[in-house]
Chain A
Amino acid sequence: MKAKGSVFRYGDNVDTDVIIPARYLNTSDPKELAQHCMEDIDEAFITQVKKGDIIVADKNFGCGSSREHAPIAIKASGISCVIACTFARIFYRNALNIGLPILECPEAASGIASGDEVEVDFDTGTITNLSTQESWKAEPFPEFMQELIKADGLIHYIRQGGMD
């Protein structure tokens, strides 16, 4: 599986309150949530994002509230993958559980700028900056998490008997 798109670049500690402000949490409809994704730190995001685009951030992406609405909003906005130096732990598990691809790779994060075209090969963990021709390899996920990803999230994993 591959993803390819242009990059929205953010810094440290992007919290789930700015990914999707609580004032919009009176719904859990993915499309409605997506309309407000990132608006408190980047009003232009939702008007510019195209299907397949990629978010790249520094450390502790998705910190704060456990709201799954955050990865849901990101996924529904068309984002194909989030690459960060590190992820906050609840966001990390939520992303895996709902099937939003994420990759931890500090080297790639520091070598990618806003607007760069980036390609990600999830099978090999290879991240390529097509704008600069640099490429990096993200740490592979542990086996259990790979199974979760393969199953397209926790619910399908349970349906397949994964937690029996």
Chain B
Amino acid sequence: MGMTMTQKILAAHAGKQEVRAGQLILAEVDMVLGNDITAPVAVREFEKIGIDKVFDTAKVAIVPDHFTPNKDIKSAEQCKMIREFSKRQGIEHYFEIGEMGIEHALLPEKGLVAAGEVVIGADSHTCTYGALGAFSTGVGSTDMAAGMAVGKAWFKVPPAIKFTLTGKPSQWVSGKDIILHIIGMIGVDGALYSSMEFAGDGIAHLSMDDRFTMANMAIEAGAKNGIFPVDHKTISYLAEHADRSYTAYAPDDDAEYVREYVIDLASLRPTVSFPHLPDNTRTIDEVGDVPIDQVVIGSCTNGRIEDLRIAASILKGRKAAKGMRLIIFPATQKIWKQALQEGLLEIFVDAGAAVSTPTCGPCLGGHMGILAEGERAVATTNRNFVGRMGHPKSEVYLASPAVAAASALTGKITGPDALDHTIGRNQADES
């Protein structure tokens, strides 16, 4: 019996010829990641182990991105603690505000993850790097501490579920819509403990940014990881960002999958997750009349340049609905600058958006866009749990950047193809 992509990567990192689903292994890790929420706990646990130095100063990344720029004194203290630890340890990949970004957009951009590698991160969306053909998975702070100390992590080798993507998605269907559709189909525990392995000719139509979005949300189906095959787009991306050699793994023909799904991308519609679970999905044609108070475009899920370009294409020359709070946060400093240079930020500001520095803030109800009781937001983020973005009686609707931008214009959940492309345009812009 053959192995899946995930199983091959894990076998190689455990020094084994082969591994089987369910087997417990100790694997070497190529990168250990933490942020300003999870790293303080990890640092404390690390110091209990009795090892003075991290296993490799080039294989630890610490990114203060959640409650930064520091939202209050306690958050500032947490950041200070990990800043001092990073300095003391000589951590090479510590990124302060001004050069940082949301960790899962930042690491690929900085070339800190490549195909075939094993990455653990004390953040559940660490699974994002599966887009690059890497095995990456979220863990807790104690695992991060152990990883920093010994460069290893324990894993139960996951069984795999195969998603064969065929056909070409229509204009307004993005990676976000595809992954929301999949989560809606299999449920928030539909891939529990498993790897989600993507395959099929439909992948050729997905940009790297689409793939990052999809791998990012594998955790919302309960998966251990989501992983894409390495193709020419991956190779170009890695050539541009990661200046080193890597191994591209492909699944064996006789790899075992516990379930297989075939998804015709051409049949999908823009998709929205209703409160309070990501699997509570409806197509844009089924949403009905849902007035909203706030739109958030950004996050590790959808704060990349392509997401901003799509939002700008819809917002250009238009104004957000009266009373709408539109918050846009590019995911990294580099993306922010790129958006500036491409004129996207001006489009956003003219549309009435508040454009933020990179931060995870609003996505997890930290700061920079908290909801009051009874308020509703459309967000391009990844979770719509009770209280996720603020008051326990507020509501979050998850959607693509295109749906979020269109909704900001109308003040209710709206698909971009429902917008009249002339009505609503700023007169000055038209003339």
What residues make up the interface of A, taking CB atoms closer than 8 Å to B? 13, 15, 17-18, 21-23, 25-28, 40-41, 59-60, 63-69, 71-72, 86, 88-90, 93-94, 97-98, 142, 144-145, 153-155, 158-159, 163-164
Contact = CB atoms under 8 A, between A and B. Distances in A.
A16 to B, nearest CB: 8
Contacts of A27: 74, 78
A98 B139 CA distance: 12
A155 B140 contact: no
B73 to A, nearest CB: 8
B32 interface: no
Nearest to A97: B142
Contacts of B67: 25-26
B386 A90 contact: no
Nearest to B22: A142
Interface residues of B, number: 52
Interface of B: 24, 26, 37-38, 40-41, 44-45, 48-50, 66-67, 71-72, 74-75, 78, 122-124, 126, 138-143, 145-146, 149-150, 152, 154, 156, 188-189, 192-193, 219, 222, 224, 277, 364-366, 383, 385-388, 392
Contacts of A164: 150
Contacts of A154: 142-143, 145-146
B75 A26 contact: yes
A65 B66 CA distance: 12
B149 to A, nearest CB: 6
B38 A66 contact: yes
A25 B96 CA distance: 20
Across chains A and B, which 9 residue pairs bring their CB atoms closest together, nearest first? A94-B140, A26-B74, A68-B140, A60-B189, A97-B142, A66-B124, A22-B364, A68-B141, A40-B387
Given A40-B386, A158-B149, A163-B26, A65 B364 contact: yes
B392 A40 contact: yes
Contact of B138 (A41, A60, A90, A155): A90
Contacts, number: 142
A13 B74 contact: no
Contacts of A153: 142
Given A13-B189, A17-B364, A28 B40 contact: yes
B277 A21 contact: no
A66 B125 CA distance: 8
Contact of B139 (A40, A60, A86, A93): A93
A68 B142 contact: yes
Contacts of A67: 37-38, 140
Nearest to A70: B140
A26 B78 contact: yes
Nearest to B41: A28
B366 A64 contact: no
Contact of B24 (A22, A72, A142): A142
A59 B67 CA distance: 31
Contact of A144 (B24, B44, B72, B219): B24
Contact of B388 (A17, A142, A158, A159): A17
A59 B189 contact: yes
Contacts of A142: 24, 156
B38 A68 contact: yes
Nearest to B121: A66
A61 to B, nearest CB: 10
A60 B41 contact: no
Given A25-B366, A94-B141, A155-B48, 18 more contacts: A13-B188, A15-B383, A18-B385, A22-B365, A26-B72, A28-B78, A60-B189, A63-B222, A64-B385, A66-B123, A69-B37, A90-B138, A90-B219, A93-B140, A144-B154, A145-B24, A154-B143, A154-B145
Contact of A90 (B40, B124, B385, B388): B124
Given A17-B388, A158-B149, A90 B140 contact: yes
A141 to B, nearest CB: 10
Contacts of B37: 22, 25, 67, 69
Contacts of A40: 386-387, 392
A64 B138 CA distance: 10
A25 B67 CA distance: 9
Contacts of A60: 188-189, 192, 222
B387 A21 contact: yes
A18 B50 contact: no
A66 B122 CA distance: 7
* Residue from B38, B44, B66, B126 with most neighbouring chain A CB atoms (10 Å): B38
Contacts of A88: 189, 192, 222
Contacts of B189: 13, 59-60, 63, 86, 88
A98 B124 contact: no
Nearest to A157: B146
19 contacts: A13-B188, A13-B277, A15-B383, A17-B388, A23-B365, A27-B78, A28-B41, A28-B44, A64-B383, A65-B364, A66-B126, A66-B138, A67-B140, A72-B41, A88-B222, A93-B140, A154-B145, A155-B48, A163-B146
A64 B383 CA distance: 8
